[in-house]
Amino acid sequence: MERSLLVAGFGGQGVMLIGKNIGYTASKKDLNATFFPAYGAEMRGGTANCSVVVSDSKICSPVKQELDEIIVMNDLSYEKFAGRVKKGGALYINSSLIEAKYEGDDITTYYVPVADIARKVGNPLVANMVMLGAYVANHEDIDVESMKETIKENLHGKENLIDVNIKAFEEGINLMKGGTQ
Amino acid sequence: MERSLLVAGFGGQGVMLIGKNIGYTASKKDLNATFFPAYGAEMRGGTANCSVVVSDSKICSPVKQELDEIIVMNDLSYEKFAGRVKKGGALYINSSLIEAKYEGDDITTYYVPVADIARKVGNPLVANMVMLGAYVANHEDIDVESMKETIKENLHGKENLIDVNIKAFEEGINLMKGGTQ
Amino acid sequence: MNDKLFVKGSEAIAEAAVRAGCRFFAGYPITPQNELPEYMSWRLPEVGGTYVQGESEMASMNMIFGAASTGTRCMTSSSGPGLSLKAESLSCALGSKLPHVMAIMMRGGPGHGIIFPAQQDYEFAVHGPCHGGVKQFILAPSTAQEAVDLTYSSFDIADKYRTGVLILGDGFLANTIENVTFPPMKKLEDLPQHKDWKITEYDPNHHKLITSYFPPEIMEQENIKMGQMYEYWEEHETQYQNYLMDDCEILICAYGSTGRICEEVVDELRNEGLKVGLFRPITLHPFPKKVFEEIDYNRVKLIVSVEMAIPGQLVEDIKNYVARRTRVEHFGRSGGVLINPGEIKEAIHKMVEE
Amino acid sequence: MNDKLFVKGSEAIAEAAVRAGCRFFAGYPITPQNELPEYMSWRLPEVGGTYVQGESEMASMNMIFGAASTGTRCMTSSSGPGLSLKAESLSCALGSKLPHVMAIMMRGGPGHGIIFPAQQDYEFAVHGPCHGGVKQFILAPSTAQEAVDLTYSSFDIADKYRTGVLILGDGFLANTIENVTFPPMKKLEDLPQHKDWKITEYDPNHHKLITSYFPPEIMEQENIKMGQMYEYWEEHETQYQNYLMDDCEILICAYGSTGRICEEVVDELRNEGLKVGLFRPITLHPFPKKVFEEIDYNRVKLIVSVEMAIPGQLVEDIKNYVARRTRVEHFGRSGGVLINPGEIKEAIHKMVEE
Amino acid sequence: MEIVYKKSSNFIEAGHSFCPGCSHGIAHNIMMDTIDEMGLAEKAILVYPVGCAANAMTYVKPNVVHAPHGRAPAVATGIKRCAPDKFVVLYQGDGDLAAIGMAETIHMANRGEHVTTIYINNTIYGMTGGQMAPTTMMGQITTTTREGRGLHGEGQPIKMCEMISTLGEPKFVARYALDNAKHVIEARKGIKKAFQMQVEDKGYAFIELLSMCPSNWHLSPKDSVKYMEEEVIKTFPLGVYKEEV
Amino acid sequence: MEIVYKKSSNFIEAGHSFCPGCSHGIAHNIMMDTIDEMGLAEKAILVYPVGCAANAMTYVKPNVVHAPHGRAPAVATGIKRCAPDKFVVLYQGDGDLAAIGMAETIHMANRGEHVTTIYINNTIYGMTGGQMAPTTMMGQITTTTREGRGLHGEGQPIKMCEMISTLGEPKFVARYALDNAKHVIEARKGIKKAFQMQVEDKGYAFIELLSMCPSNWHLSPKDSVKYMEEEVIKTFPLGVYKEEV
Amino acid sequence: MAYVTIDAVLCKGCQLCTLQCPKELLYLSEEYNQSGYNVVKQKEGDECVACKLCAYMCPEAAITVYK
Amino acid sequence: MAYVTIDAVLCKGCQLCTLQCPKELLYLSEEYNQSGYNVVKQKEGDECVACKLCAYMCPEAAITVYK
Ligand SMILES: Cc1ncc(C[n+]2csc(CCOP(=O)(O)OP(=O)(O)O)c2C)c(N)n1
Ligand SMILES: Cc1ncc(C[n+]2csc(CCOP(=O)(O)OP(=O)(O)O)c2C)c(N)n1
Ligand code: SF4
Ligand code: SF4
Ligand code: SF4
Ligand code: SF4
Ligand code: SF4
Ligand code: SF4
Ligand SMILES: [Mg+2]
Ligand SMILES: [Mg+2]
């Protein structure tokens, strides 16, 4: 089993945290995982993306040309990356910001209005956790409780934000379980 | 025709100037000449030597293992270099400071009491010019007047010292012409 | 601290160094390796060591110079521009036989500041990095785990040969977070004590002088000894990964991150029917040249050096060692463009067809 | 000023630079080349140029960086330690395509400060001198006259290719005084004006930006173009001296001062009955590799690289180019020990007997 | 209706890529407005450093030279000596100017090159993600001083104006802050004076601008203003340190 | 009969190789006499620079580290941080300390490392043959200022004591001269105080010694004394610049 | 009679301007721009005195002041 | 009763000592040492006060002072 994921958006959308949480949660399960971040230019806006590979055997390349799954959080990322999902793979789209619709049926697409939900939850900055929830909902091999632990650990020093992040994450799961497409 | 010379002594004895004057005077005559200085360590006492090669054709190596002629101005230089004169070559020895006598008759030796003469001339610092005179006296192809010009040119900025240097140079010639050995 | 962690390459190297006995670190910020000094800044004080943020790469290197002369295991890190800036004092440190470790995480270049991974400093590091013909011992890990293991041993190498060890990685290695298991913390008492040369030991009968200045005749002797040491290394200290080399017809040569990426390429090309193998040098100096004497050039029809460098750099050395006994090609990306397995495969297919 | 002079190598280079149109010099004291900046300090103001004594080698290199961006012909000089210190900004300057000339007079090393001649920075200069895989154009004069001629043309090369030219000499070249004839003073109006890139020309429609920073994709294109330029150089810009190579059975390879010394060795060995020739590369980068394709390896039984370097450095490149087609050996001295024709002869005799 | 303030035409239309609330933007506006006002755009050569400042290299229209990290003073020296009729401005961050570039900074100031330095002191290495800079304040938390500067022999924040004004050649040395409009207006006056000096060939001017880096201070822009007022300005007193014009 | 002064036993018997009348010799005598007096020979680690000073590396008996040119402060930092119980003295020339090593000097002083700097200011690059140094005086003739410093934008001589005393951490900053016995005696007292401070872990001390380089001043030792009295000391006023002990 | 316009494309919602306005005319709106920032707007009315303080403080030079 | 001795091997004849002696007891002799320097000597007599000024000034530490 090897699964590759790319998460892309603009700086400030927290795309890194989505990827890091997925990689870290996998690593706790004795899977191999790699997380590779790519910033447009350091510290400032622009686009950012990260690659996550999870595998039960050795991981060679931490970045791939074609990916099993891609999460895009803004227009630019959609344009740049949507075409790189493997046949049969999945594309997660932040439909609050991205208006485009994917044409073609070789992959599965999920349109997740993460910003809207985040605002509902009370903090527009946790849209990333909504997306994470949506992603996790689709993966039975990712343990929800373990992921919640990860989210908490990665908020070390910002404990006051734990609740809203967890809430957003749960909303993402619910949304998916409810079924969106 | 190619003639190689090494001049050695301690810093402050003016060995560089002997060599430079010989090289420069040759260069004025449309001969090729190279002058290569080697200081023990910069700016401070220690030993110093220079290599001069004069030739009517291209000069390859500006330093040689065996030399046609060597001038030694102090004990250390005598010990280090006397053995490097080619068979048939000449060794000029500052006999005011060096007590040793060269053993063997494969080369010609000149014992020149340059310091004594310099003191006589009135300035112990011009011993080098006495040695230069002695050397020039033995070389008919070096024009004495041209050498005097060279000496003057190389005293640029110290014009007050020209006379005593020329005097010392002439004393060196006279001594040789008088014949010492 | 846990022995198993999901951790960034840079941080993995830092922790491994601390466990190897490193107790002094000086460095200066530069992407893509900032997490290494940042980690050291809190971790070293925790174990009684010292972190100093140098005012420059050069100052950092010279702090290492000082620390090393006390016999303390010490380290600095940077990227290519920092290696350039350390060059002069590195020459002095190597000439003064001061054991130290340096981690350099390469990024695109030349010049001012691309922050993405590249391998464009290979030739500089291996053939260059400073004046006077001295060389470092160079290790090129391909994964965080290997970085840990090599860093751990690098201090022993530095001490054993009184030399500098360069851990040459890139932005991939530095920034990839992955699973790592750490070796145990070494006891300082068990490390070499260097009483014969370290300047903190005073012996009225033996003046200790740390310098790379010698009169010419002695310097020449030093040069000769260094040369002999490099030859000894080549004989005894080379390391490389042989991945399906033994029956291969196409041999990929790649080091560091590109090496790990190429393992995947080998697997996939084998699946596609090409008999491909991978030679991944782990020591870049000494280089495992002998491998090229053992290759059956009747079998191996093509050697491809894959690097994040254009023009190719490793490929020039490979050509040298192969000495025209078979075809040698280069494929690479550079300037911070990420290389990926797909395009490498494609490139090799194309070479085969030619 | 006289066109013919009995003059030190360092000063000859300085005067040739001035005549080639150099109008800015920045440098920092270091033996064995102090006479070069010293000469510039009075000579440049005389012709309306500028001399600045930098506070360091690095600052000097960066002053050159600034001067070059105004399109002014400019120069710096140092020895091996200085080349090391200039490495980082050199990488930026080469990446920013700023034409400049640098003279480096090698001395024994590594490290702190031997002042005698050596050639221990060959590998560093040719394969190293900075990060990011950029390279300089390297000229290695063997006599003061050749230094003058090469320096004079070096500024044209720098301008033509928007690159850096390194004049790589040593303490012999720098300090030997000999006869030199100077070429005429160039008129500044006749030099390239660089209006398209120099930052003193303002054009509202064309923002001028001197940098070596580019996004990865563009940087990669830059890398590719640089690589192509180096190949072009190899095709069109190599220079070497062929001294009795055409019928030789033993070929000496030597550059710079050692090259001139070896001419004498060739003559003497020929007198002693050995058919010896000399290959003296004048461009070290681009290297005249093609020569090694034209050699008749049935005739040439031995190639000896003679260098003031131990371990040998040029010899490694020669081995690469010869690719085992004949025997390649090394003879050298290093650390500031002067090499002389006698011992070279002796060494070759010994090799022949082996 | 008349426009009394608008974005300088010396910028390209698209904005810059500084973080929200970053003082680099304010400093650039001052610099460009003043260049406009004095009609210097064609004569100007801007020397940029390595650091966040460099983000603006392609945002400005006057010609630019991008110096290696810390070496802008040496680069500017080369430029000004070869083109004395040009108007040369160095724009440098505190890491660039006061750490790696300390020697170059002092020596250029000491030579009294006829150029102008604009020194963006945001007490941090911005571009590389918030490490301690020479200017980081006592107790300030950074990625390399997790418990605040001062516990491990880091020394005290370096005050460049104070140091540079001990030198003989510099003619105008002053420190301003960019935390509120009043301070910005003072900074505008100071920069104008410095530029005027260069135009009149009156020697070297050094202008320090206390700046905010909300991203690496881990504060909102509003809280950054507070931090500036309450902490930074106390450590780095504003004012003219030397004036010999 | 009692010996009241003799050559320190911390020197090897053979003399050093400084030129006649060179102040490096005097400075060494002070340094070694004081080390003797305070019983510090075994604890001492001397950090030498590149420059004429380095001639004495093999002349002294305490352990020595030879730093790359200008970097003695960084090297000393590494030493002292790893061996805080040792007594670390930096001995540097003006080219080494104030030109290429300026950044390292300022930053070590600013960190307040517990070491002592002895700064030999002879207004010239001695070792390399007399080029202009940052400290060369206005009008002074050197091999790179043939008509005297000041005609080509070289700026004014840099005064390290003045600059360093603006920093927070240094505790003792003073300038002495080695031109006559009275001054030498004062220098001896200053150096002893500085050494004492280090022994008591009281912070950083910077001691500047105005020194003579007869060879490159092209003056006899006697005339060098005159030049010091009449010129050098006027440019570099003697005295204690900072004392916070 | 005076007023300011704020370029919604350039504004990054840092609110440095709002702190400066002596009349407290500027406020962070709910509106997002294409980069995802909330943008600042000026309150309706004619209190603006064109003092330019907001504009001097805006890092984006997003504010144009009219009088 | 006091006097100084001058190590003729070490002395480089710089005469810095002669300038310092309050009693003007030191002079440059005609004698050369092995390095070629004229060496300094102390005049005969018992005027020396062992003030050490000469010794403090000697760069070669060639002077030993006895009392
Ligand atoms: C030689 C070199 N060393 C280090 C770096 C990494 N680097 C990039 S920007 C920077 C400094 C940023 O700090 P500062 O000058 O304060 O500017 P700011 O980003 O805070 O405006 C550093 C160290 C580099 N590019 N080059
Ligand atoms: C990196 C480097 N640059 C330059 C030199 C050449 N160099 C040797 S000593 C020296 C400085 C001498 O001046 P100073 O520090 O004033 O000491 P002094 O000799 O006057 O006592 C220099 C520049 C060197 N050895 N290394
Ligand atoms: S990191 Fe700091 S200095 Fe850099 S752009 Fe962001 S706020 Fe400005
Ligand atoms: S050159 Fe000057 S500093 Fe150097 S030893 Fe001679 S007198 Fe002393
Ligand atoms: S111009 Fe003045 S009054 Fe008008 S909005 Fe701006 S700050 Fe407020
Ligand atoms: S200061 Fe400018 S960028 Fe910031 S909120 Fe106001 S208008 Fe927007
Ligand atoms: S000790 Fe005093 S009195 Fe005696 S010789 Fe020396 S200086 Fe003169
Ligand atoms: S000071 Fe010392 S070296 Fe100089 S003359 Fe006197 S005794 Fe001799
Ligand atoms: Mg900053
Ligand atoms: Mg000096």
Chain F touches chain C, with at least 3 Cβ pairs below 8 Å, answer yes
Distance from CA of G55 to the nearest CA of E (A): 7
- Split at pLDDT 50, 70, 90, the class of A179 is low
- Split at pLDDT 50, 70, 90, the class of A45 is low
In this structure, are D271 and D297 located in the same domain? Answer: yes
Residue with tokens 């006649």: F20
How many Å lie between the centroid of ligand 2 and the Cα of residue F50?
5
Spans of chain D below 50 pLDDT:
none
Q: Which residue does chain F place closest to D35, by CA atoms?
A: F143
Is the pLDDT at C231 greater than 80? The verdict is: yes
> Which helix (H) or strand (E) segment is D277 a member of?
strand D276-281
Q: Which residue does chain E place closest to F77, by CA atoms?
A: E153
Question: Tens of pLDDT along D62-100?
Answer: 999 999 999 999 999 999 999 999 999 999 999 999 999
Pair D308, D117: CB distance under 8 Å: yes
Q: Which residue does chain A place closest to E214, by CA atoms?
A: A43
Residue with tokens 């003879």: D331
Task: Give, using CA atoms, the residue closest to atom 18 of ligand 1.
Answer: E126
Task: Give, using CA atoms, the residue closest to atom 7 of ligand 7.
Answer: H21
Question: Both tokens of residue B103?
Answer: 């053993």
Distance from CA of E4 to the nearest CA of D (A): 24
Give the ligand 5 atom nearest the CA of G50. Answer: 1
Question: Both tokens of residue D216?
Answer: 């990865």
Q: Give the ligand with the smallest distance to the CA of C32.
A: 1
**How many whole angstroms separate alpha carbon D326 and alpha carbon F137?**
62
Which of B117-121, C216-220, F232-236, G7-11 is predicted with the least confidence, judged by mean pLDDT?
Answer: B117-121
Is the pLDDT at E201 greater than 90? The verdict is: yes
**How many whole angstroms separate alpha carbon A111 and alpha carbon A92?**
6
In this structure, are C126 and C162 located in the same domain? Answer: yes
Q: Within 13 Å of residue C319, how many CA atoms lie on the same side as its CB?
A: 13
* Chain E residues within an 8 Å CB radius of C45: 152
What is the overall mean pLDDT for chain F?
Answer: 97
Pair D346, D268: CB distance under 8 Å: no
Interface predicted TM-score (ipTM) of this complex, two decimals? 0.97
CB crowding C161-197: b at 16 or more within 10 Å, else e = bbbbbbbbbbbbbbbbbbbbebeeebeeeebbebeeb
How many Å lie between the centroid of ligand 10 and the Cα of residue G18?
57
Count of domains observed in chain C: 2
**How many whole angstroms separate alpha carbon A118 and alpha carbon A130?**
7
Question: Tens of pLDDT along D228-266?
Answer: 999 999 999 999 999 999 999 999 999 999 999 999 999
φ, ψ dihedrals at F239, nearest 5°: 140, 175
Is the pLDDT at A42 greater than 50? The verdict is: no
**How many whole angstroms separate alpha carbon G61 and alpha carbon G39?**
13
- In this prediction, residue A178 carries a pLDDT of 78
Which of A9-23, C49-63, E94-108, H45-59 is predicted with the least confidence, judged by mean pLDDT?
Answer: A9-23
Pair B8, B72: CB distance under 8 Å: yes
Tell whether H9 lies on the interface with B, counting CB pairs under 8 A. no
In this structure, are D15 and D127 located in the same domain? Answer: yes
Give the ligand 6 atom nearest the CA of G39. Answer: 8
**How many whole angstroms separate alpha carbon D293 and alpha carbon D286?**
15
Please work out whether the CB of residue H65 comes within 6 Å of at least one atom of ligand 7: yes
Pocket test for ligand 4, best of F17, F18, F92, F131 (most atoms within 8 A of CB): F18
Task: Give, using CA atoms, the residue closest to atom 3 of ligand 5.
Answer: G48
**How many whole angstroms separate alpha carbon F233 and alpha carbon F73?**
26
Q: How many CB atoms neighbour CB F94 within 10 A? A: 28
Strand-pair partners of B50: B7, B37
CB crowding G29-43: b at 16 or more within 10 Å, else e = eeebeebbbbbbbbe
CB contact under 8 A, E82 and D66: yes
Q: What is the CATH number of domain H3-66?
A: 3.30.70.20
Question: Both tokens of residue C53?
Answer: 């943020």
Question: Tens of pLDDT along A108-152?
Answer: 999 999 999 998 998 888 999 999 999 999 999 999 999 999 999
Q: Give the ligand with the smallest distance to the CA of H67.
A: 7
Which of C308, C295, C300, C303 has the alpha carbon at shortest distance from C261? C308
Q: How many CB atoms neighbour CB C350 within 10 A? A: 11
- Give percent of chain F above pLDDT 90: 98
CB contact under 8 A, D176 and B35: yes
**How many whole angstroms separate alpha carbon C32 and alpha carbon C120?**
14
Chain A touches chain G, with at least 3 Cβ pairs below 8 Å, answer yes
- In this prediction, residue D1 carries a pLDDT of 65
**How many whole angstroms separate alpha carbon F50 and alpha carbon C89?**
12
Distance from CA of E96 to the nearest CA of C (A): 10
In this structure, are C206 and C274 located in the same domain? Answer: no
Question: Both tokens of residue C114?
Answer: 């691309």
Tell whether A48 lies on the interface with G, counting CB pairs under 8 A. no
> How long, in residues, is chain E?
245
Is the pLDDT at A41 greater than 60? The verdict is: no
In this structure, are D99 and D164 located in the same domain? Answer: yes
**How many whole angstroms separate alpha carbon F187 and alpha carbon F176?**
5
Listed by start position, the domains of chain F span 24-243
φ, ψ dihedrals at E15, nearest 5°: -70, 180
Spans of chain B below 50 pLDDT:
42-43, 180-181
Give the CATH number of the domain where residue C61 resides.
3.40.50.970
**Which position has the higher pLDDT, E1 or E57?**
E57
**How many whole angstroms separate alpha carbon C212 and alpha carbon C137?**
18
Question: Tens of pLDDT along G23-62?
Answer: 999 999 988 887 778 999 999 998 999 999 999 999 999 9
Question: Both tokens of residue A132?
Answer: 């994470």
Give the ligand 4 atom nearest the CA of F93. Answer: 3
- CB neighbour list of residue F83: distance below 8 Å, 6 or more residues apart: C70, C200, F45
Pair E99, E134: CB distance under 8 Å: yes
Is the pLDDT at A181 greater than 50? The verdict is: no
Cis peptide before D311 (omega within 30 of 0): yes
**How many whole angstroms separate alpha carbon E128 and alpha carbon E49?**
13
Stretch C12-22: mean pLDDT: 98
**How many whole angstroms separate alpha carbon A88 and alpha carbon D228?**
42
**How many whole angstroms separate alpha carbon C54 and alpha carbon G35?**
38
Over the Cα atoms of chain A, what is R_g? Answer: 15
Which of C16, C22, C277, C55 has the alpha carbon at shortest distance from C169? C16
**How many whole angstroms separate alpha carbon G10 and alpha carbon C45?**
45
Mutation site for F-interface testing, chosen from D34, D50, D53, D114 by largest number of F Cβ within 10 Å: D53
Tell whether F212 lies on the interface with B, counting CB pairs under 8 A. no
- Strand, helix or coil for residue D58: helix
- Strand, helix or coil for residue A66: coil
In this structure, are C151 and C105 located in the same domain? Answer: yes
Pair A45, G35: CB distance under 8 Å: yes
Domain that includes residue C257, residue range:
241-353
Mutation site for E-interface testing, chosen from F77, F80, F107 by largest number of E Cβ within 10 Å: F107
**How many whole angstroms separate alpha carbon D136 and alpha carbon F124?**
33
* Chain F residues within an 8 Å CB radius of B42: 127-129
**How many whole angstroms separate alpha carbon E200 and alpha carbon C313?**
52
Strand-pair partners of A47: A10
Question: Tens of pLDDT along D187-203?
Answer: 999 999 999 999 999 99
Q: Give the ligand with the smallest distance to the CA of F18.
A: 4
Report which residue type is found at E231.
E
With the CA atoms of B22, B23, B24 and B30 taken in that order, what torsion angle do they form, in degrees rounded to the nearest 10? 110
- In this prediction, residue H33 carries a pLDDT of 84
Stretch F213-229: mean pLDDT: 97
In this structure, are C180 and C215 located in the same domain? Answer: yes
Report which residue type is found at D110.
P
In this structure, are D214 and D260 located in the same domain? Answer: no
Pair A63, C173: CB distance under 8 Å: no
- Give percent of chain C above pLDDT 90: 97
Task: Give, using CA atoms, the residue closest to atom 8 of ligand 1.
Answer: E51
With DSSP H G I counted as helix, E B as strand and the rest as coil, what are the percentages for chain C, rounded to 5? 40, 20, 35
Stretch C343-354: mean pLDDT: 96
Pair C75, C17: CB distance under 8 Å: yes
Kindly write down the DSSP assignment for every residue of E33-97, as one continuous string.
HHHHHHT-TTTEEEEE-SSGGGGGTTTB-SEEEEPPTT-HHHHHHHHHHH-TTSEEEEEEEHIII
- In this prediction, residue C354 carries a pLDDT of 84
Question: Both tokens of residue D290?
Answer: 């093609």
CB contact under 8 A, C264 and A27: no
How many Å lie between the centroid of ligand 5 and the Cα of residue G51?
5
- Split at pLDDT 50, 70, 90, the class of A40 is low
**How many whole angstroms separate alpha carbon A94 and alpha carbon A130?**
10
At residue D27's C-alpha, the angle toward residues D283 and D335, to 5°, is 60
| Residues of C within an 8 Å Cβ radius of E | 28-31, 34, 37-38, 41-42, 45, 50-53, 55-57, 81, 111-113
Over the Cα atoms of chain H, what is R_g? Answer: 11
Q: Within 13 Å of residue E139, how many CA atoms lie on the same side as its CB?
A: 4
Question: Tens of pLDDT along F135-175?
Answer: 999 999 999 999 999 999 999 999 999 999 999 999 999 99
> How long, in residues, is chain C?
354
Four-residue CA torsion sign, D253, D256, D258, D263:
positive
CATH 3.40.50.970 for domain F24-243, yes or no, is yes
Domains parsed from chain A with CATH numbers: 2-177 (3.40.920.10)
Give the ligand 2 atom nearest the CA of D57. Answer: 3
Kindly write down the DSSP assignment for every residue of chain E, as one continuous string.
--EEE---TTB-SS---PPTT-HHHHHHHHHHHHHHHHT-TTTEEEEE-SSGGGGGTTTB-SEEEEPPTT-HHHHHHHHHHH-TTSEEEEEEEHIIIIIITHHHHHHHHHHT-S-EEEEEE-SEETTTTSEE-TTPPBT--BTTBTT-BTSSS--PPP-HHHHHTTSSS--EEEEEE-SSHHHHHHHHHHHHHHHHHHHTT---EEEEEE---HHHHTS-HHHHHHHIIIIIHHHS--EEEEE--
φ, ψ dihedrals at B106, nearest 5°: -80, -10
**How many whole angstroms separate alpha carbon G38 and alpha carbon G40?**
7
- In this prediction, residue A46 carries a pLDDT of 66
